[in-house]
Amino acid sequence: MHGTGIQSFGAYLPRLRLERAAIVEAMGWAAGLRAGKQQGARSYCAWDEDALTMAVEAARDCLTGHDRSGVASLVFASTTHPFADRCNAGVVAEALDLAQRLRTSDGAGHQRAGVSALLDALRNARIDGQPTLVVAAERRVARAGSEQEARFGHGATAVLVGGGPELAAEYVAEASLRADFVDHFRSADAEYDYAYEERWIRDEGYLALMPRAIQAALGSIDARDVKYLLVQGPQRFASAVAKAVGIRAESVPPDLHAECGDLGVAHPLLLLGAALEKAQGGDLIVLAGFGQGCDVVVLRATGRAPSAGHGASGSLAAGVPNREYARFLANCGLVDVDWGIRAERDNRTAQPAAWRHHRDVTAFFGGQCRACGTVQFPLARACVNPGCRAFDTQDPVQLAEKLGRVKTYTEDWLAVTRSPPHVYGNVELEGGGNVFIEFTDVRPGEVSVGQPVRFVFRVKDFDGVRGFRRYFWKATPVRN
């Protein structure tokens, strides 16, 4: 009998990392930020990224080498879902082309939602052994010059929970504790968090609540045997909690503030992924989520690698530090940039057409002709191969995971984009097929004919009139 636990871990952090020194430079005059206290960089979304697109990328990373069809349930935890009433997890599932029988749900409403979803997934796995994909993503926006602006980061994590012989970590124990302790809040119609004094949060929140939950979870386990204490929140809080519980100080790993900032709901799982990459077989891990109470999960590492993809370390390393504070503000929607009259184009979505083509567009499927083998996008009634042109011979084929090569491209300074120039072109797919597609995460001069590209899930267009956004895939250079 195998245990249940974590089969795989994945992460995604946007390439863009704003050096905190740039925030001090721009906003220090107003906010009294001190350069010495603002080290490192924070991750932030490109204009075409949101919690949902990052969730898809983290999930792809997590599912590298795993059978997607076996996933039975998907939970998407975030406090910044792009849709308040539309199943965000459903879009993630569609983009990943997961099974139709999949259970989907969004976990929302508090910072603990990522750990809570993991705890529930572990419970479900113990009941029926079926795998659950837990994804957590966050794109919180804070006021210019605020403490949160410097502290927050944008990013996503994903954990595949289930049973079987190849777990990276096994479930040991859990505990929960409820407490309507309001360290910060964001009301339903607010754009920003409203936060309270840190010393009070530490003393009455973390130190009064979390040790009780951790001790309940550990039960008879000796706290000194814990190798990793992963606590949602600043490292100094984690250290204080460790001391209170009797966990060794060296068991509290760095909080990744310098590398990416606080990813909110996604952050505890990022700490978990980073810990699993280092953990030896048998190491005890305590993961503690915080937000109007605590959820605590105790796991035992098996020593197996948690990720066949980029994982935590790969995603942390893939950042490009920059000091473009104005771009950061624009991407966060905090400055009203003039994109010109051309940007007034109505991006209304014809939902009946979008539904007819949902697999083509959201999951990026094309067609493959049974008569001649030609792969094509989009799938059509008649084959595009001039030597074939047969009717109704195409089977759906997933293109999202294929690589391609740049056949043609341009850097268009006239076209509307929130990151000029608009780069797009024709990409030749591996194994044949041509797709005319936008590029993303490229700066002028970065694209060339023949360059290898892969595809990423992004916001295609915003419909500002109706508050809708639509998604499609874009090409981006294959980077090591």
State in angstroms the smallest separation of the CB of 442 from another protein: 12
State in angstroms the smallest separation of the CB of 462 from another protein: 11
State in angstroms the smallest separation of the CB of 43 from another protein: 26
Radius of gyration of the chain, Cα coordinates, nearest whole angstrom:
23
Task: From 54-62, 263-271, 325-333, 348-356, give the range in contact with another protein by CB under 8 A.
Answer: 348-356
Of residues 362 through 391, those in contact with another protein by CB under 8 A are 374, 376-378, 380, 384-386
State in angstroms the smallest separation of the CB of 25 from another protein: 30
Task: From 9-17, 145-153, 284-292, 349-357, give the range in contact with another protein by CB under 8 A.
Answer: 349-357
Binder among 393, 415, 446, 468 for another protein (CB under 8 A): 415
Q: Does the footprint of another protein cover residue 345 (CB under 8 A)?
A: yes
Spatial separation of the C-alpha atoms in residues 254 and 261, rounded to whole Å: 11
Residue 101: CB atoms within 10 Å = 8
Spatial separation of the C-alpha atoms in residues 77 and 135, rounded to whole Å: 6
Q: Are 306 and 160 in contact (CB under 8 A)?
A: no
Q: Does the footprint of another protein cover residue 418 (CB under 8 A)?
A: no
> 457: number of CA atoms within 13 Å, CB side?
32
State in angstroms the smallest separation of the CB of 426 from another protein: 5
**292-321 footprint of another protein as x/- string (CB under 8 A):** ------------------------------
Q: Does the footprint of another protein cover residue 463 (CB under 8 A)?
A: no
Q: Does the footprint of another protein cover residue 408 (CB under 8 A)?
A: yes
State in angstroms the smallest separation of the CB of 386 from another protein: 6
| Residue whose CB is less far from another protein, 37 or 348 | 348
- Burial track 372-395 (b if 16+ CB lie within 10 A, e otherwise): eebbbbebeeebbbeeeeeeebbe
Q: Does the footprint of another protein cover residue 416 (CB under 8 A)?
A: yes
DSSP for 374-440 reads -EESS--SB---TTT--BS-EEEEE-TT--EEEEEEEEESSS--SSSSEEEEEEEETTS-EEEEEB-
Task: From 205-213, 233-241, 301-309, 415-423, give the range in contact with another protein by CB under 8 A.
Answer: 415-423
Q: Does the footprint of another protein cover residue 422 (CB under 8 A)?
A: yes
Structure tokens at 442: 């490229």
180 Cβ contact list (under 8 Å, min separation 6): 292, 293
Task: From 175-183, 271-279, 328-336, 356-364, give the range in contact with another protein by CB under 8 A.
Answer: 356-364
| Residue whose CB is less far from another protein, 220 or 448 | 448
118 Cβ contact list (under 8 Å, min separation 6): 134, 159, 161, 269, 287, 297
Binder among 25, 277, 401, 412 for another protein (CB under 8 A): 412
Amino acid at 203: D
374 Cβ contact list (under 8 Å, min separation 6): 368, 383, 384, 385, 388, 432, 433
State in angstroms the smallest separation of the CB of 96 from another protein: 18
Q: Does the footprint of another protein cover residue 398 (CB under 8 A)?
A: no
Q: Does the footprint of another protein cover residue 78 (CB under 8 A)?
A: no
Q: Does the footprint of another protein cover residue 461 (CB under 8 A)?
A: yes
State in angstroms the smallest separation of the CB of 464 from another protein: 14
Report DSSP state, residue 15. Answer: S
- Pairing between strand 103-107 and 73-77? parallel
Q: Does the footprint of another protein cover residue 359 (CB under 8 A)?
A: no
Applying CB under 8 A, what is the total number of residues that bind another protein? 55
| Residue whose CB is less far from another protein, 190 or 414 | 414
DSSP for 281-339 reads TT-EEEEEEESSEEEEEEEEE-SS-S-SSSHHHHHHHT-EEE--HHHHHHHTT-S----
The position carrying tokens 């005059």 is: 29
Binder among 449, 464, 466, 467 for another protein (CB under 8 A): 449
| Residue whose CB is less far from another protein, 76 or 364 | 364
363 Cβ contact list (under 8 Å, min separation 6): 94, 95, 96, 97, 398, 400
| Distances, alpha carbon 182 to alpha carbons 63, 78, 204, in Å | 36, 18, 10
State in angstroms the smallest separation of the CB of 461 from another protein: 7
Residues that bind another protein (CB under 8 A): 340-342, 344-347, 349-350, 353-354, 356-357, 360-361, 374, 376-378, 380, 384-386, 407-417, 421-422, 424-426, 428, 432-438, 444, 448-450, 460-461, 470, 472
